[in-house]
Structure 1
Amino acid sequence: MNDNDRSIVGFTMVGHAMVHTYELSIPILMTIWLLEFGTTEAVLGIAVAIGYGLFGVGALPGGILVDKYGSRALISACLAGMGVSFLLLSIADGILSISLALAVWGIAASVYHPAGLTLISNGVTEHGRAFGYHGMAGNVGIALGPLVTALLLLAFDWRFVAGVLAVPALIAAIVGVFISFDETAAVGTGGGREFTSKGRSIADVVGDTRRLFTIAFLTVFVVVALNGLYYRGMLTFLPDLLGGFLETAIGDVEPGVFDPESPLAEAFDLAQYLYAGLLMVGIGGQYVGGRLVDSIEPDRGLVIMLSVLTVIALVFAPVASAGLWQLVLMSVALGFSLFAMQPLTQATIAKYSPPKARGISFGYTYLAIFGIGALGAAIVGTVLTHAPSVSYVFVVLAVFAATGGLLATTLSRRRPPTPRADPAD
């Protein structure tokens, strides 16, 4: 890689890690909000779904804004907005103010993926390595964000922790304004592009949308939306659910390294660390999912993984309740399989979208995964509040995965489009 490549890759790696750090630190904080504000899972699920929903809904307009203003400006604004949102969280005094802070986070974070992927596509000459490093950085944020949050909560109040988490994004936003790179070095415009044009018109967007939404792509859209419902519904309340399974399996856990009367012992929550470990296992899932893309058609891979996720949802509650090692085994299986889906999903989107409409295709599908998928938090929260058993939650999640698997089967039986699109574009 040349200096320009390294600057862009470093900048986008930090941005990608930050987005997912904040995204998955929220469920850790939710376990405290449930107790501190005396609310129900249904109410908190709806509050969190607002932020997660805006994270997805903003992807499409974010992609349009990237064409007009450039990736650097959008990523820097994203980082600054996420930092401000966690500063707002640090002074939140109730569910309403938490909802508003998370809405700010969702709006800010929504522009990252179209901006980051566009910057790598247009500015980096070695695409393959750049996308690989970018994906790894996202996985680091996914895994370490909850872990760092849980560790900080051992020693500090959650408001202080939220304020501390805001600092890295604000620093990165400032660096993004001053770091030097050419956004379009890989597409041969020379000297960088001035993002002062009108960008794409509404007619252009409508025309691309009409060409994009074939029956096959519409099927992909629904499949990834169902996967998003499963992903968000599963992960949002999982720390709280794991705490219940741990209590059933082994009772209350006393951390032997702390004095039982100390604040550290009171703050220690083993479920938070099990959750962080589950997410870390997902790094291996991402690798295996990527290898599957090289071995089989991605839509066939989706059928396999959605079938696996259906089975996991159906057996999770009874197996996890049987003992500690059974709970750990199910957590590893879930984390591995959930994130093995992502490379297969991205490759399937690319397979059923024309290269010239690749940007808008990812805009629509991120809207489905994170926007429609955000309803999973509200659905699971409502089921947890009103259903007689947590088993009902896993049945609902199994329905999402099974329906997606059936639809993916119809894709895998279609004649593949020609020529097959390059997933890395």
Structure 2
Amino acid sequence: MRQMMSRISTARWSERHAALSVCVGSYFAVRLAQLLVSPVVPSLRGAFGASRGAVGTILTGMWLVYACVQLPSGAAGDRYGQRRVVLAALGGTAVAALALAAAPSLLAFGAVALLLGMGAGLYYTPATALLAARFEDVGRVIGIHRVGSQAAGLVAPALATLLGARFGWRVVLGSGAVVTTLLLGVLLRRGPSAPRAVARTDGGTAVRPRQVAAVLSRPPVAAAAALATVGEFAALATLSFLPTVLVEAHGLPLSTAGALFGAYFVVVTALQPVSGWLSDRLGRDAVTGALFAVGAVGYAALALGTTRAAALPAVALVGVAMACGPPVQSRAVDALADAECGVGFGAVRTAYILVAALGPVVVGTLADAAGWTAGIGLLAAMLAFAAVALVGARLGGRGRRPTHGSSSDRYRPSRPSETPWRFSPPSPGR
């Protein structure tokens, strides 16, 4: 009996961690397909005779569609099973990336870019719900999962440079389809087909605006969405303007600014699992508040410092702060019941991504009007305010510390009738 229980425990461990490994690879693949578009913008303009504004509109549209798909993807995961939606996301992303590489005109390119945003947008919400149902330490798992996205940010520029110089921009975009197809093949080969999930009759799959608003208005969910908005707002603005700030405000050569930008991604990538693990042990708010406080110092140094010596520590501090995703997103998952995790988490992501998408516009406009001190200073002020608010909430007795004794109940799968996502190969007799 003891030996049988040991085998069951080992199989469960293997299935969970195999699922996590494939999800990391899948997130890398879908995000790589998106991020390969930006490095080939100059080539696109030359090939199609497009203006910067036209290409910018296409990219904005892709990311807006990505944000809007978060909610329906969560609903689809609740209805049909997260594994099926993840497979659909990988397949849709692969097809869209291939069509993008073959686009004959700017109009066709723009239309397919919207489809790419849709395919990639289907992925994250159901994948997160799938992992949350399998692990108790959700913060650490989300942190590990997000490494896939951050790694894509590191690989995309180098891959685009390597392939673009020799083969052209179409091969660059096509490489995203190749990587995504490889991950799709892994899932299809090692994950046996699950039977059709039982249709939900509790309204869990219907995206009703009133019910979504009710979920988002609950104080714990609203607080998680607000914190996620602050972090994503700063992250998108940093992604857009950090090299420019280093060149224009700190006087760094473009090559040095690019190297520091790469170092920023390394810091963010390395600290994703660490911040998630710490939030499981110390509490979501404690870790988020500490990261925001560090970020406020880093952005203040970027805004006020004008020397090269100040740039390196400032970038490092900002990179530490932008590892806030796992504790913030875990806070949102904590606040949602199992039955609403897909739709609820999708609603949270749609809300904060849409608002945070204004980050580059707001910071860029403010910098045009009053300089980088004002533009980057806004980010420092936002993070400082959020950190102070979290400290006040904690001192007031509203801080959140995860209770590991109840985690297994909170995150158990909500559809016991659905076949679990297995990764072991089928037995010979099957």
TM-score normalised to structure 1 length: 0.75
Q: Provide structure 2 residue ranges, at least 5 long, that are not aligned to the other structure.
A: 1-9, 412-430
Give the corresponding residue for 1:187: none
Answering whether residue 68 of structure 2 is matched by residue 86 of structure 1, we say no
Structure 2 vs 1, CA of residues 152 and 211 (structure 1 numbering), >3 Å: closer, same or farther? closer
Answering whether residue 187 of structure 2 is matched by residue 172 of structure 1, we say no
Give the corresponding residue for 2:415: none
Q: Quick one: which of 333, 338, 348 aligns to 2:317?
A: 333
Q: Quick one: which of 380, 390, 413 aligns to 1:398?
A: 380
**Deviation per residue, 1:40-67 (Å, 9 max, x gap):** 5x77555433222222221111011112
Given that 1:279 and 1:335 are in contact with CA atoms closer than 8 Å, whether structure 2 keeps it comes out as yes
The 5 Å alignment of 1:104-183 reads 104-122=115-133, 133-181=144-192
Given that 1:79 and 1:108 are in contact with CA atoms closer than 8 Å, whether structure 2 keeps it comes out as yes
Give the corresponding residue for 1:275: 261
Given that 2:32 and 2:176 are in contact with CA atoms closer than 8 Å, whether structure 1 keeps it comes out as no
Q: How far apart are the structure 2 equivalents of 1:173 and 1:367? A: 25
Question: Which amino acid in 2 is paired with 1:219?
Answer: A
Give the corresponding residue for 2:371: 389
TM-score normalised to structure 2 length: 0.74
Answering whether residue 408 of structure 2 is matched by residue 408 of structure 1, we say no
Given that 2:281 and 2:402 are in contact with CA atoms closer than 8 Å, whether structure 1 keeps it comes out as no
Give the corresponding residue for 1:297: 283
Q: How far apart are the structure 2 equivalents of 1:34 and 1:407? A: 45
The count of residues paired between Structure 1 and Structure 2 equals 393
Q: How far apart are the structure 2 equivalents of 1:30 and 1:392? A: 29
Given that 2:220 and 2:332 are in contact with CA atoms closer than 8 Å, whether structure 1 keeps it comes out as no
Q: Provide structure 1 residue ranges, at least 5 long, that are not aligned to the other structure.
A: 183-191, 254-269
Given that 1:147 and 1:272 are in contact with CA atoms closer than 8 Å, whether structure 2 keeps it comes out as no
Deviates more, 1:106-115 or 1:301-310: 301-310
**Deviation per residue, 1:142-178 (Å, 9 max, x gap):** 4333443344445453343122222111332344344
Give the corresponding residue for 2:214: 210
Structure 2 vs 1, CA of residues 402 and 133 (structure 1 numbering), >3 Å: closer, same or farther? closer
Give the corresponding residue for 1:189: none
Answering whether residue 293 of structure 2 is matched by residue 307 of structure 1, we say yes
Look up the SS of the partner of 1:249 in the other structure. coil
Give the corresponding residue for 2:79: 68
Give the corresponding residue for 2:22: 11
Q: How far apart are the structure 2 equivalents of 1:393 and 1:157? A: 36
Structure 2 vs 1, CA of residues 343 and 275 (structure 1 numbering), >3 Å: closer, same or farther? same
Q: How far apart are the structure 1 equivalents of 2:172 and 2:318? A: 28
Give the corresponding residue for 2:419: none
The 5 Å alignment of 1:255-270 reads none
Q: How much has 1:363 moved relative to structure 2?
A: 1.8
Give the corresponding residue for 1:366: 349
Give the corresponding residue for 1:261: none
Q: Quick one: which of 284, 298, 305 aligns to 2:270?
A: 284
Give the corresponding residue for 2:428: none
Percent identity among equivalent residues? Answer: 19
Look up the SS of the partner of 2:252 in the other structure. helix
**Deviation per residue, 1:185-222 (Å, 9 max, x gap):** xxxxxxx5522525652678655763663234323222
Alignment RMSD (CA, Å):
3.9
Structure 2 vs 1, CA of residues 404 and 129 (structure 1 numbering), >3 Å: closer, same or farther? closer
Structure 2 vs 1, CA of residues 289 and 175 (structure 1 numbering), >3 Å: closer, same or farther? closer
Structure 2 vs 1, CA of residues 317 and 86 (structure 1 numbering), >3 Å: closer, same or farther? farther
Q: How far apart are the structure 1 equivalents of 2:263 and 2:103? A: 29
Structure 2 vs 1, CA of residues 177 and 352 (structure 1 numbering), >3 Å: closer, same or farther? closer
Given that 1:46 and 1:377 are in contact with CA atoms closer than 8 Å, whether structure 2 keeps it comes out as no
